[in-house]
Copies of this chain bind each other. A is one copy, B any other.
Amino acid sequence: MSQSIQNDEIEVVLYNGKQIERIDYSTYIREKNASESDVVWINVDKEKDQAQIDTILKPFGVHPLIIEDILLEGQRPKLETYEEYAYLNCKMIYFDGEELAYENLSILFDQQTVITIGDHDGDVFSTIRKRLEVPTSNLRQGKADHLVYAILDAIVDAYFDVLETLGDLIDAREEDLLVKPNMDLLTILRQYKRDLLYLHKAIWPLREVLSRMINDEPKEIRKETVPYLRDVYDHIYQCIDSIETYRELLSGMMDLYLSSISNRMNEIMKVLTIISTIFIPLTFIAGVYGMNFHYMPELTSQWGYPLTLIGMAFIALLMVYYFKRKKWF
């Protein structure tokens, strides 16, 4: 074994319906002591370099292109079946604080062994570990393909969690939208839209992966497991449906935002313009009687000033009345 791999970074679980055992990776490789009926789960959960992955996968005779794929970030979820094993790639998605985090997960499996390789520490497998402790669970009773199902199920359940959180956030913003629309809100909505775009990109191809696992009858999948996979397939479809729905809702909210901003602005400009429009003719009249012509009979009349004021008030009221009748405000 290369010294760069520490045993405690690799989790090796051997189990069957009767017993479950956690052993050292190096012990496992040395002794190959898994009996026929055992399922072997090897979980590598650490940032990887080529050498480490090579070392770990060497004993299993994995195609070099797959190792390249495992090391690549930003892979598209896919299933590849080789003669001796199948290779499945998908994304674990979760909220890391306020940001969505995407983690590549590679699953290599044959009828007995399942190897999972994640990008970082941490995973969504806690429920699997718990269920493995229960001897009567479907998982413990099942074969390697049931473990693969359980892993995919856990991943897709995490998608649901993410989508629910996102849905709640969007709903909360909808209320904000009605109370105080502002530019920051639009930026947030755009961020959600972008999140949904990436989510769609990550989840959509997984649908095809499941479809192939169900319909192409790869030898690694037993017939009993197909209904379970179909269930995962349905869940993926619901995720995609939800994403679609949220995207349409967001588009609607953005349109509403723009309408309401522009509506508000129009209202303000209208009121301001109406105020100006009322005063401009009055100011003109005042201007007229501020002219210094020597012969302006109105100026000398005792009633000139009050009549002018009354006339101005009358004109103002007339305009207000006219604007009101036209429903301009």
Contact = CB atoms under 8 A, between A and B. Distances in A.
Interface of A: 63, 65, 68-69, 74-76, 78, 80, 82, 180, 183, 186-187, 190, 193-194, 197-198, 201, 227-228, 230-231, 234, 237-238, 241, 244-245, 248-249, 252, 254-256, 258-261, 263, 265-266, 268-270, 272-277, 279-284, 286-296, 298-302, 304-305, 308-309, 312, 326-328
Contact of A289 (B65, B291, B298): B291
A194 B249 contact: yes
Contacts of A255: 254
A256 to B, nearest CB: 6
A162 to B, nearest CB: 15
A276 B272 contact: yes
A20 to B, nearest CB: 22
20 contacts: A68-B231, A69-B231, A76-B237, A82-B227, A180-B327, A183-B259, A186-B256, A190-B256, A197-B245, A197-B248, A197-B249, A268-B328, A273-B273, A283-B283, A286-B291, A287-B287, A292-B296, A292-B299, A295-B302, A295-B304
A251 to B, nearest CB: 10
Interface centre among A237, A254, A295, by most B CB within 10 Å?
A295
A280 B275 CA distance: 8
Contacts of A263: 183, 261
A292 B291 contact: yes
A270 B326 CA distance: 14
B279 A291 contact: no
B290 A295 contact: no
A249 B274 CA distance: 35
Contacts of A296: 292, 305
Contact of A270 (B193, B269, B308): B269
Nearest to A269: B273
Contacts of A82: 227
A190 B76 contact: no
Contacts of A283: 279-280, 283-284, 287
Nearest to A64: B138
Contacts of A302: 294-295
Given A186-B256, A272-B274, 4 more contacts: A69-B231, A261-B263, A261-B266, A292-B292
A228 B65 contact: yes
Nearest to A187: B256
A270 B268 contact: yes
Interface centre among A82, A266, A292, by most B CB within 10 Å?
A292
A291 to B, nearest CB: 4
B227 A65 contact: yes
Nearest first, the 9 closest Cβ-Cβ pairs linking A and B are: A286-B287, A289-B291, A293-B305, A290-B290, A272-B277, A283-B284, A272-B273, A279-B280, A293-B304
